[in-house]
Amino acid sequence: MQYKLRTQLFKEQPRAFTIGTIEEINDEWVFFDDETDEAFLLEELIEVEFEVSINEEWTPASLKNGTYSINHSKKKKLQNGDLLRIQKKLLYSFDSLLKNLSDESFYSLAYLLNTHGFSLYDCLYCHNFLSFQPEDTPVEGVNFIVFDNGELVCSLYHQFRISPEEQNHRFELTKATGNRYLLTQLS
């Protein structure tokens, strides 16, 4: 899987976006989160890109040099009541772990989580032991990750053995209900 395909998989994950409406108050755009009813200054939530709903389709928009621009032929400016979606950020330690996984292991992990009702964006905690290991040397260990999809919590144990010749990954997902699932990926 290439970077572009990984990016698409991230966008297709459940709960990957924060969705809400905006309103201009005192010359500043305020974002109202539909899920939590909290209000945030839009510029604090957006690094560069976001999307605006136009005719029920998500259209790319961006913030550059303090100016919001919409990449649509009929609409160039934000208006009160516009519906926005902003892609959520992953925990730094979890994001770092995902970047270190081979494409096959990354896809396997996403599949395991998704088939059991969890998203990559449900990660609450990640102890990435792999990030503490020296690069370009054989390493082995376990990463501990906790997910919460709003209805159920699960823990994921990622046991790995990585050497220049091969990568072995074992993912064990345990739901709060006691159900356990094991996925082993060898390369």
The residue-averaged pLDDT of 68-82 equals: 85
State pTM to two decimals: 0.87
Query: Between residues 47 and 52, which one has the greater pLDDT?
Result: 52
In the predicted structure, residue 166 carries a pLDDT above the cut 90: no
**How confident is residue 57, by pLDDT bands cut at 50, 70 and 90?**
very high
The residue-averaged pLDDT of 143-154 equals: 98
Place of tokens 């082993």: 184
Instruction: Give me the phi and psi of 135, to 5 degrees please.
Output: -80, 155
Determine the pLDDT at residue 187.
Answer: 67
Determine the pLDDT at residue 2.
Answer: 66
Determine the pLDDT at residue 1.
Answer: 45
Residues 6 or more apart in contact with residue 62 via CB below 8 angstroms:
48, 49, 50, 68, 69, 71
Cβ–Cβ under 8 Å, residues 30 and 42: yes
The residue-averaged pLDDT of 38-44 equals: 92
